[in-house]
Structure 1
């Protein structure tokens, strides 16, 4: 595999070095927003243009000139307080269209002013994994219909937009575009071109036709945001997590140029850092920045990682779960949407990122539920009619805090007055196990659904505590609270439990 990676790297380098021509043009303020330069419209100085490797800035007359690289799109790095034109689907047209690569030697970039003085509100969408139109309709009900009521400033779908069916890019983007926010897409491994005879330069050709470059950067207010493609194909079907050499040059150039004006950076990509072959080198690239936040997807579970740096604030990575939960699997609810609980017991949803000058806050939103739904409490149940799952009653109360980590404060109260700390527990959520058990019993046979996989993945945000002896007989309300300002948690969940006899 490593030999193949070396060969791919050499091939990529040789292709990139074959510079076909220069592209030149202007960057201007599109005052009337008609997409073309009109006499008298301001020409913008100091705007950064990239060819996917190098960076150049526009001169005093708004002009730029840059060498093009074979199969790489030239694009503008959006400056603060400006926005590129949006397509009908609210994709951001910050790049030369794929179909004109190698065919034109002039291209103008239009920008128009927008207000960016308020704190950034971005929505992070983990794997949407759309395979058929049914899945897109699920996304519409779970995401579009919620966010359209109060659109965020920016939306970042974090890769695996589709499930290998690249023709679904178009209907998915049309549906997400209805939200009304600028959408900056991230590529995932299921969004790439794989097949016999394809090389690394072909990996994102379909993606680029639909969404533009698979890595780029932008500013919003005082934010520097970098979108990366960290999927490296190693044969016609397999891949590893890695930043290719040309992209690495681009990343280094961006980090160096903006270090004088930004102390923090946010990175959006698909594969979590822990699974990258160049993890150590990648983390070290950000040494010049005081605050580094990374959002990823890929695992269909969600959790937080912190990468410690000597003398600096640790890099915080959010593995942001999946809009599709576990691959749109399992029985459907009253709306016809699969339950699709994530493998770690997280209810499917998305993240809100609120970022101010000196801090940021995260908050998880369960799709289709009130913002207060942050915890699921599992307690034993003794039934009369259906006793098939009573073997799951193990004498514990479990709490799955969807946004939490091992340092989250989770407590339980049986009387509403006194509280006890629950024990952090790395195990399988019994609520997810419940679905697996029902599936084994054949309860879902006859339904046209995808089956859940085995319950083997341990949750990283699960707590439990054994039920104390001496509780009053009969039903009682128990309360579980989770407190963690880092992740927007200050929530209480209620559950009725019958004291064990």
Structure 2
């Protein structure tokens, strides 16, 4: 293979690609120029210089632009050529409001699929004008994180827009520099992509999408054709993006297995490993490395021998990430919220545990539950977490903090957004054995979180972390059970054990009357967070 002198080709991806069958041999090249689009007109005008060192990829190989901004990358039919955003510049927006940084190469189009796939695209020229970065490099980076909007109908998209999107705007978080949706953008009906994208793009935030298992073309004959409609709307299913304080890798980790049961499994393809090997070879170590995908990298099914993410792929990925000092994994899929610290038991052998934030769903429990006065379902998830979105704030140097923001519960004041829900009995008998407790569902709680409580301004005492269903949601389940008619379109989910629930015993040896219970959680992102409730002691005789 010959590479012209102005261009540098990172060969790791190409060498790996040589192992592919002969029918997948390189066909041709896509070439073009990357330049500084000073006037933002999407055309290279006289005096607009080329930009050197910008990385472009076909999903396997990575090339860099030469001193004049020119590049050439090998392609096969079915490839999507894309640029990796450099930390020094910004991408322009396309007509759909998404960043414009890719070009499909489908000279014969894609197979006939229900939702259209990719139309014929035979262009072998792809030029890209970059804009100046809009934020100073020494400021914090704010990223919005959505998982599983999972809209099934236009009605669901209306919920999404009035609930989650409106909450982001009301909280002032639409000033973020980047947004990520971690799969299940819709719930199998891919014709809804334009409508839900209009809602997301209305925030004016550059937005990237990872595909989920409900974003597949289920009539595709194989995994390598199962995301063609997704790619038409959202671009490459595997990509990278760079900011001064963080590098992002977004991966398709849904391996489609038509005709098998289950019909998919978590894992990665050989071309993705080729891309990762090429890209990670020179990613700076002085910034945060974020790897975002849909299916969790940990196994979610406790059944013996049942892998929900292929262990061999996890070990290969972790080996590539091992020497990076700051790594964060982001996933969705489960419609509950979990914080997992990977160690040797799950194949991680880095110097410190590897943090995976398995983010709760934007749709909560599939837009279920009783509707409020605005006609929006409660949508609490099965672990008691309210639906909403997360934020990642990265400081220069890669230090970072995560937070969860329930939709519409904080009004227009983000500081008032609850960080936990409390549940306690309303009344207990004075002198009864203290067998009842106050429960704190701490949305961002981890196994090592410090959660304490006190009664009537007494001494703070530690609460005990328990893995059991949130009694607050159990009570809602009972209300649904006892209702003579449906309370909503779909009832709230059956409560499952939560990984972020704490319990403290309520004393019954206090005076008759009302007593105040206060809980505090020491949140790395927001500092000390408090919530309070009350219970009453009454006298009773046998």
Partner SS, residue 352 of structure 2: strand
Displacement of 1:419 in angstroms is: 1.4
Q: Do residues 307 (structure 1) and 342 (structure 2) align?
A: yes
Name the counterpart of 1:134: 155
1:247/1:107 Cα in 2 relative to 1: closer, same or farther (>3 Å)? same
Of 310, 317, 323, which aligns to 1:288? 323
1:161/1:150 Cα in 2 relative to 1: closer, same or farther (>3 Å)? same
Gaps of 5+ in 1: 1-8, 384-392
| Deviation digits for residues 4-40 of structure 1 (CA, Å, limit 9, x no counterpart) | xxxxx99x94388332211111111111111122222
Partner SS, residue 190 of structure 1: coil
| Deviation digits for residues 193-244 of structure 1 (CA, Å, limit 9, x no counterpart) | 112x521221110100111001100101232111000000112571000011
Name the counterpart of 1:168: 192
Distance 1:55 1:364 in 2: 35
Check the 8 A contact 2:380/2:492 in 1, yes or no. no
Displacement of 1:500 in angstroms is: 5.7
Distance 1:495 1:252 in 2: 52
Displacement of 1:102 in angstroms is: 5.2
Check the 8 A contact 1:227/1:267 in 2, yes or no. yes
Name the counterpart of 2:519: 480
Name the counterpart of 2:459: 418
Check the 8 A contact 1:28/1:37 in 2, yes or no. yes
1:329/1:13 Cα in 2 relative to 1: closer, same or farther (>3 Å)? farther
Check the 8 A contact 1:27/1:109 in 2, yes or no. yes
Name the counterpart of 2:298: 274
Displacement of 1:166 in angstroms is: 0.5
Partner SS, residue 200 of structure 2: helix
Name the counterpart of 1:459: 498
Partner SS, residue 390 of structure 2: strand
Name the counterpart of 1:388: none
Distance 1:279 1:287 in 2: 12
Check the 8 A contact 1:156/1:183 in 2, yes or no. yes
Displacement of 1:286 in angstroms is: 0.4
Match runs of 1:79-478 below 5 Å: 79-97=86-104, 103-116=122-135, 117=137, 118-148=139-169, 149-151=172-174, 152-195=176-219, 198-236=221-259, 238-259=263-284, 262-275=286-299, 276-277=309-310, 278-308=313-343, 309-310=348-349, 312-358=351-397, 359-370=399-410, 371-372=415-416, 373-381=418-426, 395-442=436-483, 445-447=485-487, 449-455=489-495, 457-478=496-517
Check the 8 A contact 2:441/2:500 in 1, yes or no. yes
Check the 8 A contact 1:194/1:236 in 2, yes or no. no
Distance 2:272 2:140 in 1: 29
1:100/1:51 Cα in 2 relative to 1: closer, same or farther (>3 Å)? farther
Aligned length: 478
Check the 8 A contact 1:50/1:75 in 2, yes or no. yes
Q: Do residues 17 (structure 1) and 24 (structure 2) align?
A: yes
Distance 2:222 2:318 in 1: 27
Distance 1:374 1:287 in 2: 32
1:236/1:191 Cα in 2 relative to 1: closer, same or farther (>3 Å)? farther
Check the 8 A contact 1:73/1:101 in 2, yes or no. no
Distance 1:411 1:155 in 2: 34
Of 28, 36, 39, which aligns to 2:43? 36
RMSD over aligned Cα atoms: 2.2
TM-score (norm 2): 0.84
Distance 2:209 2:453 in 1: 40
1:16/1:414 Cα in 2 relative to 1: closer, same or farther (>3 Å)? farther
Displacement of 1:68 in angstroms is: 0.6
Gaps of 5+ in 2: 1-15, 106-117, 300-308, 429-433
Which segment is superposed worse, 469-478 or 206-215? 469-478
Check the 8 A contact 1:187/1:207 in 2, yes or no. yes
Check the 8 A contact 2:89/2:133 in 1, yes or no. yes
TM-score (norm 1): 0.90
Following TM superposition, the consecutive aligned residue runs of length 4 or more in structure 1 with deviations greater than 6 angstroms are none
